[in-house]
Structure 1
Amino acid sequence: MSVVHVTLYQGSLSPDAPFFASRSRKPVLAYVTNMAIRLEQGLSLSTGWEMQPPAAPVDFDKLRAGKDSRWTQRSRLTVGSDLMRDFVRASQQFHYYYPSEPGRRGQEDVWLRFASGENFTDAAIPLVADALPYVIEAWRPREDEKQTPFRTTDMWWYPTLSFSLDVKKALPGEGSEWLFMRCFTRSIKNGRLDLQSVILDQHGELVALANHVNLAMPASRNTRKRKTVDNKL
C-alpha cells in the first residue's frame, strides 16, 4: 500500500524561478491511497445491505437502443446548455439514462455509459463518482410556478469543495459498459450541499462509495473574464 500526495497547479510558471516558487495557484490537493484490490486478502462478511428503495428494472439491450420505457436518456444541463457544456466538459463524456418516472427531490438514479463506446475501467471510477453534482437542479421551479431565488432561467455551477472515494471492488479486466449511480443530498444551506454517491455495476454489486461537499454558485463565476495578477517574487 502506498500514499501519494498530488498537487494540481494552474497558471503561469516562471522559467527563472524554482517550481514551488512559481506564480501558479494550487486549486486541487489530494491524497491517494493505492493498493492492488485484486490481491487483497482478509475478513469478508455478508452485511445483507441492499439499495432501498430499489432502482427500477433495466433491460440493457433496450436501454442501448433507447427503447426501455422505464429509463430515458437526457442531459442534466438543460439551462443555458451550450454555455454550460462549454465549461462542464466532463458531462460530454457520458450518456445519462434517468428513470422515466421522476423520484423525490434530493435523490437521483442514473445509468451511465461512455459516449465514446469504451468500457469503464477502474481508472474511470473517480470520474464517474464526480460526474453528477446536479441533484440540486430538481428544485428549479417550472415556468408556470412561482419563481424563487433558484430561478428557472439562471445558470448555476457546483464546484467540488472536498471529495472522498472508497473503491470496494475492481471492475473486470475488460471493463464494464454500464455503471449505475444513486446520488442524494441531506442538506442544501448557505450555498453548500453535501452529496453521497453509491456506484453499482450492471450486476447490482457495490463498486464504490463517494462523499462530496459542493458549492452552489452562479455560473458567471466560472464564465466571466479572469483577472491576472502578476505577483513579483
Structure 2
Amino acid sequence: MAPPTFADVLPIQQLSSHQYALALENEWCIGTVPNGGYVTSAFLMVARTHMSLTHGTRSEPHPINLHLEFLRRTSVGPAIFTVKDVKLGARISNLHIVLSQKQEHNDRWQDEAQGYITMSNIATEEGLSLDTQYQLWPPALPVDLSLLSAQGHDTNYTIRANDPFPSFRRAAQNIQIFLVQPDRRPQPGRSGRPRAIVDQWVRFAPKTPSLNPDGSLTGRWTNDALGFLVDMFPQIVESYVNPFVEEAAIGQYSEFELKTFLESNEPRAKFWYPTLALNLDVKKLLPEEGVEWLFVRVMAKVIRNGRFDLNIEVWDEAGELVASSTHASLIVDASRNMARKGKEKKDAKL
C-alpha cells in the first residue's frame, strides 16, 4: 500500500463542467468546524481537478497563488464547489471558486467560503531567476530526521505527542509535529528569538481507517496538502495564555499532572481561532509521490483586541522554500465553535 497523500483524504466528484462535490469529514474538524486548512486544501484540489477535467488541453494543473475568504463556518457533510473561469490564458488562468453548503434551519444552499486561485504549470515555468539568498531568520536549528523518525526526538527537536484536547482538535491528530526542545529555545529578548515563533518538522499521519488501518502509517506531503499544512500548528496564543498545556504536549509534565491541571483549571480548550482570510503563494512543486518531511515556521506580529496575523513558511529538506502564507484570524471563546443554533446570527458577530 502506497503512503497516503491528501488526494486520498479528499476525493473530488465532478458534477458538471463547473461544479464539484465532496463531503467534509468529522475527523478533520476543530470542534464542530472543519479545519480551515483542510478546507483550503479542498479548494486547491478542486482547482486542480477542474483544470485537468474541464480544461485539460491548457496544461495548467498547479495552483500557484490562492486568496480565500471564510464567510461563515463550514460544517461536516456535503459541500458543493462552483467554479467560474475568470480568465483562461496561455500560461496563467484565474478561477473563482465558491464553497456552498445547506443551511441547517431551511435546507437552502448558502455560500460559506470563496476565493480566487491562479493556475499555471510550475514544472514548465520559464523566465528570469535570481538567487536572493533568502534564509530563515533566526536560523532554524539543525535536525536529524532519522532520529526523529526512530526515537521521536533528537538534540534539538521532540515530538508533540500529548495533545491536551484531542477530541476538540481532531484535525491535529492527522499530523506528527516535532517542536524545538525546551532547553534549546533561545531566550526571548532583543538579541534572542521572538516568543511568537513556532518552528516544527512535520509528517503526514492521517487517522482515517481506510487510509491507515492500524494508525501507524505515515503519509507523504504533496502540493495538495499545502492548505492544510499552513494551518496546522500549536497556536502561538496558547504559549502566552496557557503555557502549561503546550509544555505538557511535548512531555514536560506527566499525564497525571496534565489531568490534574485540566481538572482544576481549564478542562477544555479555552479559545478558538477562526480564520478570516488566508493567502497562499506556492514556490515549488513537490514530487508527485510526495515527501515525508517538511519544515514549517509560524510567526505572529501583532496579537491585539481579539485579532491577530500569522506568517507561515514551508521549507523542504533541501532548504528550499516550498510555500509562504499569511492569515488574518480572530481569537474567540471556544464555546463559539460548539454553538450551532442560530448560525447566521452568530456568524454575523464573528
TM-score by length of 1: 0.82
- Tell me if the contact between 1:133 and 1:158 (Cα under 8 Å) persists in the aligned partners: no
CA deviation map 1:91-125 (0-9, x unaligned):
12100000003454211101110114111011111
Q: Trace 1:53-68 onto structure 2 (pairs within 5 A).
A: 53-65=138-150, 66-68=152-154
Match of 1:107 in 2: 197
CA distance in 2, matches of 1:42, 1:178: 29
**Greater relative CO (CA pairs within 8 A, separation 6+):** 2
Tell which deviates more after alignment, 128-137 or 31-40.
128-137
Give 1:225 deviation, angstroms.
4.0
1:120 partnered with 2:221: yes
CA distance in 2, matches of 1:140, 1:14: 36
Match of 1:93 in 2: 174
Give 1:76 deviation, angstroms.
8.4
Give 1:75 deviation, angstroms.
5.5
CA distance in 2, matches of 1:196, 1:142: 21
Aligned pair partner of 1:8 in 99, 105, 110: 99
Aligned pair partner of 1:192 in 301, 304, 307: 307
Unpaired runs of 5+ residues, structure 1, are 16-21, 144-151
CA deviation map 1:141-200 (0-9, x unaligned):
557xxxxxxxx6261101110000000011123211011010101101111100000110
CA deviation map 1:183-228 (0-9, x unaligned):
1011011111000001101111100010100111111001124237
Say which structure is richer in helix.
2
Question: SS of the counterpart of 1:61?
Answer: helix
Aligned pair partner of 1:179 in 267, 272, 294: 294
Question: SS of the counterpart of 1:28?
Answer: strand
> CA RMSD, aligned part only?
2.4
Aligned length: 210
Question: SS of the counterpart of 2:224?
Answer: helix
Unpaired runs of 5+ residues, structure 2, are 1-91, 187-193, 207-217, 245-264, 345-350
Give 1:82 deviation, angstroms.
3.8
Q: 1:64 to 1:171 in 2, by over 3 A?
A: same
Give 1:51 deviation, angstroms.
1.0
Match of 1:132 in 2: 233
- Tell me if the contact between 2:153 and 2:159 (Cα under 8 Å) persists in the aligned partners: no
Match of 1:217 in 2: 332
What letter is aligned with 1:131? M
Match of 1:202 in 2: 317
CA distance in 1, matches of 2:277, 2:96: 15
CA deviation map 1:56-115 (0-9, x unaligned):
11111101121413111116853xx04422xxx321210000000345421110111011
Q: 1:140 to 1:206 in 2, by over 3 A?
A: same
Q: 1:228 to 1:189 in 2, by over 3 A?
A: closer
- Tell me if the contact between 1:77 and 1:84 (Cα under 8 Å) persists in the aligned partners: no
Match of 2:51 in 1: none
Question: SS of the counterpart of 1:84?
Answer: coil
Question: SS of the counterpart of 1:45?
Answer: coil
Give 1:131 deviation, angstroms.
1.6
CA distance in 2, matches of 1:162, 1:56: 30
Question: SS of the counterpart of 2:147?
Answer: helix
What letter is aligned with 1:170? L
CA distance in 2, matches of 1:7, 1:75: 36
- Tell me if the contact between 1:95 and 1:113 (Cα under 8 Å) persists in the aligned partners: yes
- Tell me if the contact between 1:183 and 1:198 (Cα under 8 Å) persists in the aligned partners: yes
Q: 1:76 to 1:213 in 2, by over 3 A?
A: farther
CA distance in 2, matches of 1:47, 1:175: 26
Tell which deviates more after alignment, 111-120 or 67-76.
67-76
Question: SS of the counterpart of 2:168?
Answer: helix
Q: 1:142 to 1:13 in 2, by over 3 A?
A: closer
1:170 partnered with 2:285: yes
